Every structure is written in C-alpha cells, then in structure tokens.
Amino acid sequence: MLTDRRQRILRALIEEYVACALPVGSRTLTERYGLGVSSATVRNDLSALEDAGYIVQPHTSAGRVPTDAGYRAFVDELLASGAAVEEGPYRDVAAQLRSTAKELDGLMERTSEALMRLTDCLSIVGAPSVLASHIRQLSLISLSAHQALIVVVTEDGQVVNRTVAFAEEVAPEELASVQSLINAAFAGRAPTEVRERLDAAAIEELQAPLARLVVDEVLACLEEGGLAHHTYRLGLSALMRKPEFSDASSLAPVMDVLEDDEVLLRVVGGAPCHGESLLVRIGRENAADELHRMSVVAAKYGRGDAEGFVCVVGPTRMDYNRVIQAVRAAQTALGDE
C-alpha cells in the first residue's frame, strides 16, 4: 500500500513521462510539481517505488519510467478517487455526437473519429451483433422476374442486405405481399424469435413456398451480418507518431492482432456490462503477446444481449485520465441506441 506522498510522487512521475516520453528525475519532479518536500526526500521515495516495482531506471544515470505495476496503481487510484469522471467537454462531445447522427452506423463512425481526436490513439467502435438486434423493417426490391434484393434494417439502425434468386418468375406484387406479411409478423423481433416462430409453424401464411424462401434468406442475411462484427477503426497514423513506434515495423504485429475480429472480441471480451466500470488492461495484463507494450481501455454499450463496444488502444504511456473520460463519453453517446 502506497503512502499518500509516494502516490503523489508516482502520479507526478507518470504525468511527466506521459507528456515527455523521457525518463524522469527527482529534480524535475521537485521543480515542476510542487510536492512540498525536498529533492532528497523525492529521491528516497523514488528508490522505494523502484524497490516495490512501480518504476524502473532504464540506465544508471537516467531518471525513472513507470512499469506496468506503476501504471496499474495510478489507474486504480484514478478510478477509485473519481478523478476520471466525464468533465464538461467530454459530456458536450457525447451530446454533439448524438445530435449529428441518428442511425447507429453514422454514430459509430463519428464516435470513432471523436475518440481518435480526443485520445490521439487507435479507436475501435464495434456494433452490437445483428443477431441480437430487433428487426425494424424489411424491404424486398425486385431486380428482375427471377431476382430480388432483401434489405433488413434493425431497430438500432444497422443495415444488412442479400440477393435472392427465384426458380420461377415472381411479380413485384407478390414480393410486396410477402414483404407486408414478414413485416407484420417479425417487426420488433430478434432473429432468434423469428426462427422459433417459424419452427412452431405459428404463422401459416409464411409457410407458403415463396414466403418461406424469403424468410430463410432473411435469416441467412442476418446470420452473415452477425458474423461480420461490423467495426470502425481509426488512428493507425496516430500510433505511428508515438515514440514507441518510431520503427514502423514494431507496430505491424499489433495491427495484425487488432485487425483480426475474433482476437479483437477476446481483447474486449472482459469489458463489464453497460453502465458498469471500464475495462483497463495495461501491458502484460493483455493475453496477446503482441499487446504487451500496449494498454486497452474498453467499455460496452447497448441493451440486453444487443451490446457493442468502444475501445481505445495505445502505448502503456497513454494519458489514462483523458482516455477514460473519452471512452465514457463514447459509451454515453452510443448507450441508448
């Protein structure tokens, strides 16, 4: 357990290192942070913090830099104290995002842009699974006598589509009739409910060959959309500007991991449910070896099973206060969609 003074010194060292990306010495801390103690006391406390594993001295004559344990102590203190609660500018960002984009796709894109701008890190925003979203509307658009386009819009604003082929000619009037039937039966329902109702043969009209074919194609369309894990990623150039990645090749393994949707979902899979605290993984707390130099701040948004996520990924030398506030603002902006 750190004393209050050593906690203040650790916090000051981390803030200075985040700002400058250079090892921090006792003189810098004494002169810039008004710690109220002598330089000798600061040196003694730095030695104690190093012995405890919170900081490390890269070279004999250099200052100190934080370790993963040091960042963890800093973040835990930040969250416990409530210091990283959304401030005015971040609440304003959430309100602005919601006022400029009503559908989820547009809101996700704008939110990812805002996260990148606010954090100067890689931002990733993932949509809820289409399979967990309720159907708002289905449209059948005739492309020819033997082909139609199925367009499904979910209640959270996601859009998926699929082309369906017919063995026999189908008139636009028949398509319109099937469209009305399906909308009347399934609007406001999740895909799993659609399948259950059909399996129970609860709606006789939809057992007709044309209607059943279209419904099967609709379900296949939604299942494909559910496997796509629709995400917006922005900020690779921001990471490339970080001193940690001055050698661009060192960033390639990180991007290989984060561009794999299955791995990405595992990275944020431990994020708590919407409305609870955030997930913050620092350095080697990340299971993937490629992320051992990175930190991940993530949160879920949405309702019930229809949950998406917001995530910021950057070097362990990130501005945790800013990033946590930005992720919370994004969670707020997306949360009621």
Instruction: For residue 197, give every residue at least 6 positions away whose Cβ sits within 8 Å of its Cβ, in sequence order, or none.
Output: 185, 186, 189, 203
Task: Indicate the pTM of the whole model.
Answer: 0.79
Q: Evaluate whether 312 touches 107 at the Cβ level (below 8 Å).
A: no
Write down the residue that tokens 């561009």 correspond to.
Answer: 259
Domain 88-129+229-334 has CATH 3.40.309.10: no
Per-residue pLDDT of the chain (337 residues; tens, 9 = 90+): 789 999 999 999 999 999 999 999 999 999 999 898 998 999 999 999 999 999 999 887 779 999 999 999 999 998 887 766 656 566 677 677 767 666 677 788 888 898 999 999 999 988 877 777 788 888 999 999 999 999 988 877 778 888 999 988 998 898 998 899 888 888 888 777 776 766 555 556 666 788 888 888 888 877 776 555 578 888 888 888 898 888 777 888 888 888 777 777 777 766 665 445 689 999 999 988 889 999 999 998 876 666 788 999 999 999 999 999 999 988 888 875 4
Write down the residue that tokens 């730095």 correspond to.
Answer: 46
Helix (H) or strand (E) holding 322: helix 320-334
The CATH fold of domain 4-81? Arc Repressor Mutant, subunit A (1.10.10)
Q: Name the residue among 1, 15, 16, 2 with its Cα closest to residue 45.
A: 2
Q: What is the dihedral of CA 148, 152, 157, 159, to 10 degrees?
A: -50
Q: Name the residue among 233, 178, 232, 241 with its Cα closest to residue 205.
A: 178
CA 151 to chain centre: 27
CA distances from residue 145 to 95, 153, 171 in whole angstroms, order as listed: 47, 24, 6
CA gap 337, 314 in Å, rounded: 27
CA gap 200, 308 in Å, rounded: 31
Q: Is 271 helix (H, G, I), strand (E, B) or coil?
A: coil
CA gap 266, 36 in Å, rounded: 45
Residue 41's pLDDT is 94
CATH code for 131-228?
Answer: 3.30.390.60
Q: Token pair for residue 267?
A: 């990275």
**Which pairing describes strands 159-165 and 122-126: parallel, antiparallel, or unpaired?**
unpaired
Residue 304's pLDDT is 61
Q: Is 124 helix (H, G, I), strand (E, B) or coil?
A: strand
Domain boundaries, the chain: 4-81, 88-129+229-334, 131-228
